C-alpha cells in the first residue's frame, strides 16, 4: 500500500467543482441553490440538511451532539460535517457522475474551511449572500411556522445570528482577502437575487457556469 499523504485532497479541483455558498441564516442560500441546480446541473449539498439527517439516523453516535448544537446555533465539530460532505460527494459522483457541487452553509468556521480544502477539495469560489439581520429574522420566523425546525424560533435565531457574526463572517472575510468571494445582495425577492447571482457567477465562471 502506498503511504497516505494527508495534504493531498480526495478530489482534484481540475476534476471536481466546488462552490461554497454562504450567508446568514435566512439569507436565502437554499432557495438560490435550488435555482442553480435547475438551470446549471449542480448537485446541492446543504451541510445543515446533512447534519439533520445524521441526527435522525438510527444508531448515529452524533445524534445528541448535533441536536444540541443545532438548537443552540452552535457549530458542530468539523470532523462530523466534513466527513458527511465527503461521503455525500463520493455517493453523488458514483451514483450520477455529477462533479459540480454547491456546498451550502459550509464552511461556517475557519477550521472547517482549512480542513475541507486540505482533505476533500479546494473550492472554486465562495458565493456570499449578504442580507441584513432584520430581513433574515422576518424570513426565519415566517419559515418557522411550517419548517418544523428546532432552531427557527426567536431564541435560537438570536444565537444563530451571533454565531454567524462571530464565527462565520471571518470565513467570508478570509476568502474575500484572497479575492475568492462573489457577493450578492440577498435583500430583494428571490427572482431578483437569482438574476444578480447568474450575472456575477457568469463573469467569473463563464456562461455555462
- Residues in touch with Mg ion (CB under 5 A): 30
- At its nearest, how many Å lie between Mg ion and the CB of residue 108? 12
Residue 105 lies near ligand C5P (rule: CB under 6 A): yes
- Name which position in 27, 45, 69, 201 contacts ligand C5P (CB under 6 A): 69
Residues in the chain: 209
Residue 76 lies near ligand C5P (rule: CB under 6 A): yes
Terminal-residue alpha carbon distance, the chain: 38
- Name which position in 25, 113, 120, 125 contacts ligand C5P (CB under 6 A): 25
Residue 53 lies near ligand C5P (rule: CB under 6 A): no
Write out the three cell numbers for 168.
462565520
- Name which position in 16, 19, 33, 160 contacts ligand C5P (CB under 6 A): 160
Residue 19 lies near ligand C5P (rule: CB under 6 A): no
Query: Cis omega (within 30 of 0) on the bond before 4?
Result: no
Residue 172 lies near ligand C5P (rule: CB under 6 A): no
Beta carbons within 8 Å of 5's beta carbon, 6+ residues apart: none
- Name which position in 11, 42, 101, 106 contacts ligand C5P (CB under 6 A): 106
50 vs 82 by CB, closer to Mg ion = 50
119 vs 135 by CB, closer to Mg ion = 135
Residue nearest to ligand C5P (CB): 48
- Secondary structure element (H or E) that encloses residue 45, with its range: strand 43-46
Rounded distance between C-alpha atoms, residue 162 and residue 13, angstroms: 33
Rounded distance between C-alpha atoms, residue 129 and residue 181, angstroms: 10
Rounded distance between C-alpha atoms, residue 132 and residue 185, angstroms: 9
Amino acid at each position: 500500500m502506498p503511504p497516505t499523504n494527508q495534504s493531498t485532497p480526495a478530489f482534484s479541483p481540475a476534476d471536481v467543482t466546488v462552490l461554497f455558498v454562504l450567508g446568514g441564516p435566512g439569507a436565502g442560500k437554499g432557495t438560490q441553490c435550488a435555482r442553480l441546480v435547475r438551470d446549471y446541473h449542480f448537485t446541492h449539498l446543504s451541510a445543515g440538511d446533512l447534519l439533520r439527517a445524521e441526527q435522525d439516523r438510527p444508531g448515529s453516535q452524533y445524534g445528541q451532539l448535533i441536536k444540541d448544537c443545532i438548537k443552540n446555533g452552535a457549530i458542530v465539530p468539523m470532523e462530523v460535517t466534513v466527513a458527511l460532505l465527503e461521503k455525500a460527494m463520493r455517493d453523488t459522483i458514483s451514483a450520477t457522475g455529477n462533479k459540480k457541487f454547491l456546498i451550502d452553509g459550509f464552511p461556517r468556521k475557519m477550521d472547517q474551511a482549512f480542513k475541507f480544502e486540505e482533505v476533500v477539495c479546494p473550492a472554486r469560489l465562495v458565493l456570499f449572500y449578504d442580507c441584513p439581520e432584520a430581513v433574515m429574522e422576518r424570513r426565519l420566523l415566517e419559515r418557522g411556522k411550517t419548517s418544523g425546525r428546532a432552531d427557527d424560533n426567536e431564541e435560537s435565531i438570536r444565537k444563530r445570528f451571533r454565531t454567524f457574526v462571530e464565527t462565520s463572517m471571518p470565513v467570508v472575510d478570509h476568502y474575500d482577502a484572497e479575492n475568492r468571494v462573489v457577493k450578492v445582495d440577498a435583500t430583494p425577492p428571490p427572482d431578483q437575487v437569482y438574476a444578480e447571482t447568474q450575472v456575477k457567477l457568469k463573469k467569473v465562471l463563464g456562461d455555462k457556469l
